[in-house]
Structure 1
Amino acid sequence: MKRCYLVVMAFLLVLAAGCSGPAETEAVEENVTTEDLAGFVREAADYAASAGEDAAFAEFNNEAGRFSRGALYVFAYDYNGTLLAHPYEKDAIGTDRGNWIDVRGLPAIRIGAATAANGGGYIAYLYPAPENGSIDETAGDTYIPKIVYVAPAGETWWVASGVYLSGAAGPGTEPYPEPVSAMVGLVERGAAYGREQGAETAFAEISNASGMFVDPEGHYLYAYDYNGTLLAHPHLQDSIGTSLIGRQDPFGMENIRALRDTAESGGGFIVFVWPNPEQENRDELKIGYVLPVDDTWWVGSGVYLSEITGESAPLPGTLKDQGA
């Protein structure tokens, strides 16, 4: 299995549980593999099964407890989206976070709940990086990608823990995981090519399945205008010239609109749901990166979550679809 090393910001990794962390705590960085993260969460789920809910909640809420290990800690939600336990957001416990969406519209808590209800696994989303010892959900320009592992802890609730992607804070930091770094470079080259060569030449090259913008790992570039019309794509030739702005994923996110909005705001990361051809076109979370080319069109690419974690990560349907 591929091991992805991630940077952990100590005590400040919050999955939509509140707007601030402990102000006196400084962020530190530690290398943690995705396997480490999954093992930590599964251990917490096993503890909940053996100790019972009350004891588990008490332990998860304990800043000095067995599930607050330096940079990692466990939090818990029920399947309605209510925060049940969190060692550093006690004021938010009992609040409904089920409809929380990240800065680009991804319903992270609902996806976490659906994944946990399906047996658990990895999810990804955007969340603010800590600044001056706190997290501000209203600061849209601080959102960066995170990876979280979720697991069921009982019939009505689930547990999770998460870490930021290494280097996701931007230039000058530690490098991204290799697939993400390659994908970002592809988008940067594509945007530069479009500016230098012009739209017509760029569209032809982007749509070439054996061209310079399809790499050996299968990552590819695509281009849209700001109305959501597909302008170039190596694998969706029949859809070129069609507006996909209203396309919705199974969780209700209009992902082309969200990608467009990201490009329109200057570009950057986004997490969205898209079918994975390597998984029989089942829906999977994808970490995308987009950049504007000019004021009429933009380019983007993405990396499936399974490429980073090394584990298959198809998404289940919504909880409603599962009869929950």
Structure 2
Amino acid sequence: MLKAKIAALAITGTLMFGVASAMAGEYGSADEATAMLDKAIAHYNEVGADQAFKDFTAKGGDWQDRDLYVFCFEKNGTTLAHGANEKLLGRDLSQLKDADGKAFVGELLSTGYAGGGWVDYRWPNPVSKKVEQKSSIVKQAGDYVCGVGIYK
């Protein structure tokens, strides 16, 4: 009886590890988001703002990976690049609130201009098409703030 319980626990643990591993591959990690943002800022510094923002928004490039994508804002909250939704380009999102009523774009901007860091909010996941908990790392790039987020 004890051997059967141990075997059942071992099988359950193996299955759970397999599901967690499969899910981990579907979504970007915090380390991957940070690496993508660092790469994006280096690209911005190399090619300039106009070309970088076009590149970050273009589909099929190096700036989208699963649920990870680069976004950039002007100081006033206008979207200059968005790898998941080009319809947001040129729109002032400074007053945009998430599903919980949090005015998160202002926090993204203030965090980015204060040296960078992580901001939590709820946003539509481009993979699942559902509003999910998101955490974005943001940093200043020239006069702008760029970021990459992960869905939790």
Give yes or no for the alignment of 1:159 onto 2:146.
Answer: yes
Corresponding residue of 1:127: 123
Give yes or no for the alignment of 1:109 onto 2:105.
Answer: yes
**What is the distance in 2 between the residues matched to 1:58 and 1:144?**
27
Give 1:153 shift: 1.0
Corresponding residue of 1:57: 53
Aligned with 1:144 (options 116, 132, 144): 132
Deviating beyond 6 angstroms after TM superposition, the runs of 4 or more aligned structure 1 residues are none
**What is the distance in 2 between the residues matched to 1:38 and 1:151?**
10
**What is the distance in 2 between the residues matched to 1:45 and 1:125?**
23
TM-score (norm 2): 0.75
Check 1:129–1:66 CA distance in 2 against 1; reply closer, same or farther (3 A cut). closer
Give yes or no for the alignment of 1:79 onto 2:75.
Answer: yes
**What is the distance in 1 between the residues matched to 2:29 and 2:69?**
15
Check 1:32–1:87 CA distance in 2 against 1; reply closer, same or farther (3 A cut). closer
Cα RMSD (Å): 2.3
**What is the distance in 2 between the residues matched to 1:48 and 1:161?**
14
**What is the distance in 2 between the residues matched to 1:66 and 1:39?**
12
| CA contact 2:67–2:125 (8 Å) conserved in 1 | no
Work out the number of aligned pairs and report it. 131
Give 1:33 shift: 2.9
Aligned with 2:84 (options 88, 97, 101): 88
Structure possessing the higher radius of gyration over alpha carbons: 1
Give the residue type in structure 2 aligned to 1:153.
A
TM-score (norm 1): 0.37
Q: C-alpha deviations, 1:14-53, integer Å up to 9, x for none?
A: xxxxxxxxxxxxxxx5253312211211211121112101
Corresponding residue of 2:62: 66
**What is the distance in 2 between the residues matched to 1:49 and 1:91?**
25
**What is the distance in 2 between the residues matched to 1:130 and 1:33?**
15
Q: Unaligned regions of 5+ residues in structure 2, if any?
A: 1-20
Question: Within 5 Å, which residues of 2 pair with 1:199-218?
Answer: none
